[in-house]
């Protein structure tokens, strides 16, 4: 259902219901779509181990299947009729949520004006539910969504993401390549660290040490769009504490998460009453500086953080309701 946000921004809203068979069917199909995404995500991270075990225990049929999928994942091919139908299925993920809202403020849409945009999406969450919804949405189909290099290198995730949208690697060299072409890019700056810190009771972003994307945006003349996904932290329970060790794991491309979704199906996200509420804030218009100094990078990084906090403060009551929203705060790590 399309609607107009009271603040004057473009808005797309879905309010889920299970009062009739049609809505219940959509909820079930949306759940299957999400479960498919999460299963591929988990399998992708463990794919090297699976490949090793297939050889170790002489399961050569499985070994051959992984080799074949790897060849397909890295071979040049274009999306066709099969991928079109698969994308339509994955797009049903939003119907799983009790409510789903997507808002673009002040020209933050990819095609609003010709200058390229870099979307910073927060928080990462356990399995990037908001990120997944944006990745397969029609309004973001021209945006290249970049993933952790280890994840994108997996044949399982690579095939899945290529079939659904425009994926890429978040490696520095790859980002520079995309930016030289002037592509719109979406990146989760908080990465696995933000996933590790995820809490159902707190809105947390890992941003204080993440300045590299701002430096690249300055060098290549990109505007930066702060995006916040309200409700992402409520999709999975995550064990808290022991941050030092768990954050250290992230440096080895290992997510330090211990998560649980639905009580009877832990890989499925919780179905919170407030659903997901995604807001893309007004673009932060950066100058183009070929060799930005540390001070210039810090200046614009500070402005980005301020813009992200503004998105949170301006929309928290709409997303969470007045009772919780008035006291909600964003924690900056």
> Which segments of the chain are extended strands (E)?
2-4, 10-15, 99-104, 117-122, 144-147, 167-169, 185-187, 203-205, 223-230, 237-238, 259-260, 276-280, 330-332
Q: What is the C-alpha separation between 102 and 136, in angstroms, rounded?
A: 13
In the predicted structure, residue 7 carries a pLDDT above the cut 80: no
| Residue 275 in tokens | 């659903």
Share the mean pLDDT of the chain: 91
Q: What is the C-alpha separation between 286 and 299, in angstroms, rounded?
A: 11
Task: Say what angle helices 21-45 and 155-164 make with each other, to 10 degrees.
Answer: 140
Tens of pLDDT, residue by residue over 213-245, are 999 999 999 999 999 999 999 999 999 999 999
Q: What is the C-alpha separation between 332 and 202, in angstroms, rounded?
A: 11
Which three-class secondary structure string do you get for 75-132? CCCCCCHHHHHHHHHHHHHHHHCCEEEEEECCCCCCCCCCCCEEEEEECCCCCCHHHH
Res 11: pLDDT: 52
Tens of pLDDT, residue by residue over 91-135, are 999 999 999 999 999 899 999 888 999 999 999 999 999 999 999
The torsion angle over the Cα atoms of residues 244, 329, 325 and 327, rounded to 10 degrees, is 110
What residues make up the domain containing 250? 2-332
**pLDDT band, residue 3 (cuts 50/70/90):** very low
Higher pLDDT, 7 or 291: 291
Q: What is the C-alpha separation between 94 and 82, in angstroms, rounded?
A: 21
Total tally of structural domains belonging to the chain: 1
Tens of pLDDT, residue by residue over 116-126, are 999 999 999 99
Contacts of 134 (CB under 8 A, 6+ apart): 102, 121, 140, 145, 186, 227, 278
In the predicted structure, residue 6 carries a pLDDT above the cut 50: no
Tens of pLDDT, residue by residue over 296-326, are 999 999 999 999 999 999 999 999 999 999 9
Q: What is the C-alpha separation between 233 and 198, in angstroms, rounded?
A: 6
């Amino acid at each position: 259902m399309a609607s107009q946000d009271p603040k004057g921004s473009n808005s797309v809203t879905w309010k889920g219901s299970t009062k009739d068979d049609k809505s219940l069917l959509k909820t079930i199909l949306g759940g299957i779509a999400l479960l498919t995404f999460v299963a591929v995500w988990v399998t992708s991270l463990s794919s090297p181990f699976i490949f090793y075990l297939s050889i170790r225990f002489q399961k050569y049929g499985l070994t051959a299947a992984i080799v074949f999928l790897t060849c397909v994942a890295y071979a040049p091919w274009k999306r066709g009729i099969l991928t079109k139908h698969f994308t339509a299925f994955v797009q049903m993920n939003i119907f799983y949520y009790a409510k789903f809202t997507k808002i673009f403020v002040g020209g933050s849409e990819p095609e609003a004006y010709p200058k390229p945009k870099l979307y910073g999406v927060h928080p990462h969450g356990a399995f990037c539910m908001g990120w997944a919804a944006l990745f397969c949405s029609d309004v973001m189909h021209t945006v290249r969504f970049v993933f952790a290099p280890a994840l994108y290198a997996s044949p399982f995730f690579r095939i899945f993401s290529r079939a659904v949208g425009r994926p890429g690697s978040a490696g520095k060299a790859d980002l520079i390549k995309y930016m030289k072409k002037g592509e719109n890019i979406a990146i989760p700056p908080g990465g696995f660290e933000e996933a590790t810190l995820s809490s159902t009771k707190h809105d947390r972003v890992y941003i204080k040490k993440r300045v590299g994307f701002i430096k690249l945006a300055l060098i290549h003349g990109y505007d930066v769009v702060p995006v916040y996904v309200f409700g992402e932290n409520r999709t999975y329970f995550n064990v808290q504490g022991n941050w030092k060790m768990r954050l250290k794991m992230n440096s080895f491309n290992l997510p330090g998460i211990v998560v649980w979704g639905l009580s009877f199906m832990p890989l499925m996200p919780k179905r919170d009453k407030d659903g997901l509420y995604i807001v893309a804030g007004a673009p932060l218009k950066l100058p183009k500086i070929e060799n930005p100094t540390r001070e210039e990078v810090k200046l614009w990084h500070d402005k980005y953080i301020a813009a992200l906090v503004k998105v949170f403060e301006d929309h928290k009551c709409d997303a969470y309701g007045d009772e919780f929203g008035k006291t909600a705060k964003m924690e900056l790590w």
